[in-house]
């Protein structure tokens, strides 16, 4: 069953189920495939994590469909939303990266990829890509960088960001633990890699408990100056 925009009323809540007579269903070019993506930037590292569940409505299409895509040796992108648009968008980004590499003889930096993605997304302003993107990587000075996007290309650089179906659950927890928001008299220590990885694992386990579209497994891409390392952690499968 495809969830179209018609299932939602004007206040954003799902409409009550009762039979109102024959209803004409219009074809919707979008579908919501679920998934959550998270990125954290540290002093000299960046993490991009995503769950691996691909769902649609009440069904699960795949339990092994990670949403992090490696772009260069220092940049990873996480895309959640409509899977068809995620695939096309990553293909377009990879093609543009190759073009840049061939004409400029160097790889694109994270900041440049972010600016390019913003223009690619805005190019379809009137029929947008239904994708929530988060780019994580190292900038030219070797510091961690996270860029978060909206579906039409508005972006900015952050320290941490969660996107996708469980983003509203994860973001407040990150604000508290990484941003030290709403806490008084607390020592603000810089985030280490081990602590960040453990935090991401805990945070996704909590998300899988409460969000139906998040679960199955967690894939973390850890980006340091040595390269990109991957870690896979199992999550709830129900």
Partner 1 sequence: KTCIYTHKQKHFTHFCSRKNRVPTLFSSTFSSLSPHQQPFQLSHGTTTLGFIFQDGVIAAADTRASCKGLICCPTSQKIMPIHSHLVVNTSGSGADCMLWERILTREMRLYQLRHRKRLSINGAAKLLSMMLHPFKDQNTKNVLSFGGRSGPRVCYVCSDGLQLKGEIISVGSGSPYAYAVLDDGWRWGMTVDEAVALAREAVFRATHWDAYSGNNVDLFHITAHGWRRRDREDLKEEYYRERERKRKKIKEREKERQKREGDELGEGDIYSVHCG
Q: Which residues bind partner 1 (CB under 8 A)?
A: 3-5, 8, 12, 27-30, 32, 118-119, 121-123, 125-128, 130, 148, 150-156, 158, 167-168
Q: 185 to each of 4, 28, 181, 188, 196, how far by Cα in Å?
A: 47, 51, 11, 9, 22
Closest CB 92 distance from partner 1, rounded Å: 14
Name the minimum Å distance from CB 226 to partner 1: 31
| CB-nearer residue toward partner 1: 100 or 233 | 100
Q: At its nearest, how many Å lie between partner 1 and the CB of residue 228?
A: 27
- At its nearest, how many Å lie between partner 1 and the CB of residue 218? 23
Sheet holding 160-164, edge to edge: 160-164, 36-41, 46-51, 217-224, 227-234
Closer CB to partner 1, 8 or 209, in the complex: 8
Instruction: Give the neighbor-by-neighbor strand order of the sheet with 144-149.
Output: 68-72, 75-81, 131-138, 144-149, 155-158
Instruction: Name which of 13, 166, 20 is nearest 80 in CA terms.
Output: 166
Q: Which C-beta is closer to partner 1: that of 152 or that of 193?
A: 152
Residue closer to partner 1 by CB (options 6, 101) is: 6
Distance CA 154, CA 133 (A): 11
């Amino acid at each position: 069953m495809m969830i179209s925009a018609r299932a939602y009323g004007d206040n954003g809540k799902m409409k009550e189920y009762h039979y109102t007579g024959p209803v004409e269903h219009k074809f919707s070019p979008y579908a919501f495939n679920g998934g959550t993506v998270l990125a954290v930037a540290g002093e000299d590292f960046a993490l991009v994590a995503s769950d691996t569940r691909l769902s649609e409505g009440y069904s699960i299409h795949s339990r092994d469909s990670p949403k992090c895509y490696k772009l260069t040796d220092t940049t990873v992108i996480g895309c959640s939303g409509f899977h068809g648009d995620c695939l096309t968008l990553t293909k377009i980004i990879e093609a543009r990266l190759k073009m840049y590499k061939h004409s400029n003889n160097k790889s694109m930096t994270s900041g440049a990829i972010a600016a390019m993605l913003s223009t690619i997304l805005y190019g379809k302003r009137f029929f947008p890509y239904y994708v929530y993107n988060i780019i994580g990587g190292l900038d030219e000075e070797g510091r961690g960088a996270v860029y978060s996007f909206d579906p039409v290309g508005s972006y900015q650089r952050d320290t941490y960001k969660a996107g996708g179906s469980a983003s509203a659950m994860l973001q407040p927890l990150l604000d508290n633990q990484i941003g030290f928001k709403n806490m008084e008299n607390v020592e603000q220590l810089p985030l280490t890699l081990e602590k960040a990885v453990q935090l991401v694992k805990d945070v996704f386990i909590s998300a899988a408990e409460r969000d139906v579209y998040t679960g199955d497994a967690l894939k973390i891409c850890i980006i340091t100056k040595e390269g990109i390392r991957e870690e896979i952690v199992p999550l709830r499968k129900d």
